[in-house]
Amino acid sequence: MIVTILGSAAAGANAGSGCTGILVRSGMTTVLIDCGPGVVPELKRAIDVRALDAIVISHMHLDHILDLVTLRAAYRYAPVPFDGRIPLWLPPGGSEILDRLAVPLDVDHHSPLFFDQVYATAEYNPIDSLQIGELSIDFARTQHAMAAWAMRIGSRGSDAALGYSADTGPITTLATFLQGVDVLICEATLLHSDISPIDRGHLTAQEAGRLAQTCHARSLYLTHMWDELGQEQLRESAASAFSGSVEIGWPGLEISIP
Ligand SMILES: [Zn+2]
Ligand SMILES: [Zn+2]
């Protein structure tokens, strides 16, 4: 598996980094996980967007979906016509939210076809594994302001696994779900918090490190960060709780998982 970070900012986007987007490639299979604002330019830097086999969305907050609008235009109005539709896997209930998003954007009044022109939209069932070519994706519910799904991504013929926290507060079930992943891409939205863990929809960087330690990940890449908190402070805080390597998930960073 080759994993490319396409954006690692929390909701507000950072200087030089958009919001969450993770490109996962294995053999002939290419999948985009989340598509926040600022992801499309980095996606185009990494691949020909026509090569995408599918997009999978962790949850419907705008910092994880807004560039679906940009990507739609990239397909719809490309000077070289693009035939076909990209499978777009949404969380349960995601289709209705996307249909509502289309209404004010569709000045040609094709709603609800606005997104359907370029995406073959479906909702995954988080109880089941989602198979996309050589990749399989399992889901676990996180603790967040809306239903959000962490992912465990594997590749056919390999025991290697990629874990992605999506947006989450600290819950113990994630450590079980992500046990033994080689690489953990984990949100680190906060540096400190006075809010009780059970009332929180995000992790401190130190909690991200603790999660990586508890699930015995080999390496940890931080995402969903605010520039204002200082990315190096976030990295150091995560590293204080994790004995493996901790890196900032810069856009363009490529991670090889053998
Ligand atoms: Zn969110
Ligand atoms: Zn988010």
List the pLDDT tens digit at each of the 258 positions of the chain. 999 999 999 999 999 999 999 999 999 999 999 999 999 999 999 999 999 999 999 999 999 999 999 999 999 999 988 888 999 999 999 999 999 999 888 887 766 689 999 999 999 999 999 999 999 999 999 999 999 999 999 999 899 999 999 999 999 999 999 999 999 999 999 999 999 999 999 999 999 999 999 999 999 999 999 999 999 999 999 999 999 999 999 999 999 998
Task: Give the pLDDT confidence score for residue 154 in this predicted structure.
Answer: 98
Task: Give the pLDDT confidence score for residue 258 in this predicted structure.
Answer: 87
List the one residue out of 119, 121, 181, 123 whose CA is nearest residue 151: 181
11 alpha carbon – ligand 1 mean position (Å): 8
Total Cβ atoms within 10 A of residue 140: 20
Task: Give the pLDDT confidence score for residue 147 in this predicted structure.
Answer: 97
Task: Give the pLDDT confidence score for residue 113 in this predicted structure.
Answer: 85
Total Cβ atoms within 10 A of residue 206: 20
User: What is the pTM assigned to this prediction?
Assistant: 0.97
Domain count, the chain: 1
245 alpha carbon – ligand 1 mean position (Å): 26
Provide the 3-class DSSP secondary structure of residue 178. Answer: coil
DSSP 34-72: ---TTHHHHHHHHS-GGG--EEE-S---HHHHTHHHHHH
Task: Give the pLDDT confidence score for residue 124 in this predicted structure.
Answer: 98
Q: Both tokens of residue 155? A: 């590749």
204 alpha carbon – ligand 2 mean position (Å): 14
- State which residues form the domain around 197: 2-256
218 alpha carbon – ligand 1 mean position (Å): 26
Domain of 64, CATH number, reads 3.60.15.10
Task: Give the pLDDT confidence score for residue 111 in this predicted structure.
Answer: 64
How far apart CA 135 and CA 18 sit, in angstroms, is 25
Give φ, ψ of 148 to 5 degrees: -135, 155
The secondary structure element, H or E, covering residue 177 is helix 173-177
Ion ligand 1: residues, CB < 5 A: 61, 167
Quickly list H helices, 85-138. Answer: 94-105, 113-116
